[in-house]
Amino acid sequence: MTAKQSQYQALSQELDKIVHALQQPDVAVDEAVALYEKGMKLVERLEKHVVQAETTLEKISLQFDAPKES
Amino acid sequence: MPEQPVFTVSEFVAVLNQTLEYAYANVSITGEIANFRVSKNRWVYFDLKDDGALVRFFGTVYQMPGPLEDGMLVTVRGVPRLHQQYGFSVTIQAVTPTGEGSIKKAAALLEAKLTAEGLFDEARKRPLPYPPRCIGLITSGESAAYRDFIKIIQARWGGLRVVHIDAQVQGEPAVAQIVAAIERLNGLAEAPEVLVITRGGGSAEDLQAFSTELVTRAVAASRIPTLVAIGHEVDLSLAELAADCRASTPSNAAELLVPDRQAVLGQLQAQREQLGYVVGHRLQIARTAIGAQGEALHRYAEQVLVRARQNVALHRQLLQAYNPQAALQRGYAMVRSGGAAVREASSVQVGDELAIALNGGTLTATVKQVILEK
């Protein structure tokens, strides 16, 4: 596995962290509101990514050796 | 009648080989293996026979599809040749087990060998990235497998890069092409994160490339995690056993690789609601706390007022107790002489004019006598 993540994975993990942070009992109100706004923006970005991202298709041709005549 | 040439033995061998090369540069022969043996772990000798004849074959272990044994039905492609010392044989180029029984037997022998080497150990299996950013796809570009895989991948998910290598998945070239494709994708500068090797179902013969030693080892050796999906219902191919993950069909491979867009959108909606709920709950706690603080403030203020009122009343009582008018009401009198209060009897002389204040008024009097206490 490569260490680099897809944009979707990175955004999704960030959202999970925000929901987790928001659920902590000692989170301050100002912080909670800021986390909420950040979380909602992430949800929107993820939705956009899921709906709009396009898949690209590339083709590689191999020069296969023909059966050797000997 | 022209005179027939007379050859030396060496000349005859050379001429016959030339003739064979011209007429049968390459032959494929099907028969049952007999007298199979391997010399020095490298050289392979066997005969192919049927009811009427027997032909000798010679090759190296590298051309074998896997372990072979007597009694197996195979098709051998090779070059017929008369050796200078050892007589006629066919030099092997490729061996393919033929017929269901032989294919199964060959696969069973190879499976036992590769199992012993640990190629199929569960501990070797690596997780596939979910979802991957780039997929290497090895399958025939003309196949339904290719179309199904691409269709499902695109329907389920987006933002992917699919690098496809068109490789034959059956017939003799399949093994070399699949192996080359695996190596090529592993060698790319921007290598895919997962390799998908797939094809639809087929007969045991159609699928046998996936149970050859070369393909199985190439799958096991791939640095990129592998997903092998062969559409069939019975026995698994060895390539599937060696893969990090296997799927039942090309469509199933696509389903395993990426999440479903609609399901993810549903989860995102749930997360949106959760965020709203959690922040709403936090704000409600804050509002309740503020309300409680307000009530406490109100209570403290009232207590302070009550204490202040009590204090004022107490002072009023004290003040009243010290009011001289109250003493006059109780029958005491206040004596002044020349406007100043008289505190000592000795300070008054006979004949002095005094003003005596009583409750309700003042009397004026003249001192007739001063009697001092002894």
- Per-residue pLDDT of A17-45, as tens digits, reads 998 888 888 888 888 889 999 999 999 99
Task: Indicate if the pLDDT at residue A1 is higher than 60.
Answer: no
**Bridge partners of B87?**
B83
Q: Which residue of A has its CA nearest to B223?
A: A1
Chain B residues whose CB is inside 8 A of the A53 CB are 158-159
Task: Tell if the CB–CB gap between A59 and B133 is shorter than 8 Å.
Answer: no
Residues whose CB falls within 8 Å of the CB of residue B280, separated by 6 or more in sequence, listed in order:
none
Burial class for B284, CB neighbours closer than 10 Å (0-12, 13-18, 19+): exposed
> Contact at 8 Å (CB) between B78 and B57?
yes
Residues whose CB falls within 8 Å of the CB of residue A51, separated by 6 or more in sequence, listed in order:
B158, B261, B265
Low-confidence ranges of chain B (pLDDT < 50): none
**Bridge partners of B357?**
B334, B362
**Chain A positions with Cβ closer than 8 Å to B:** 1-2, 4, 6-9, 15, 18-19, 22-23, 27, 29, 32-33, 35-36, 39-40, 43, 46-47, 49-62, 64-65, 67-70
Q: Is the ipTM of this complex over 0.95?
A: no
pLDDT at site B120 = 94
Q: Which residue of A has its CA nearest to B283?
A: A29
Distance CA B227, CA B246 (A): 5
Task: Tell if the CB–CB gap between A55 and B132 is shorter than 8 Å.
Answer: no
pLDDT at site A9 = 82
pLDDT tens per residue across span B93-112: 999 888 878 878 888 889 99
pLDDT at site B259 = 92
Long-range contact list for B69-72, CB < 8 A, 24+ apart? B69/B33, B69/B36, B69/B105, B69/B109, B70/B33, B70/B34, B70/B35, B70/B36, B70/B46, B71/B32, B71/B33, B71/B34, B71/B105, B72/B32, B72/B33, B72/B97, B72/B102, B72/B105, B72/B106
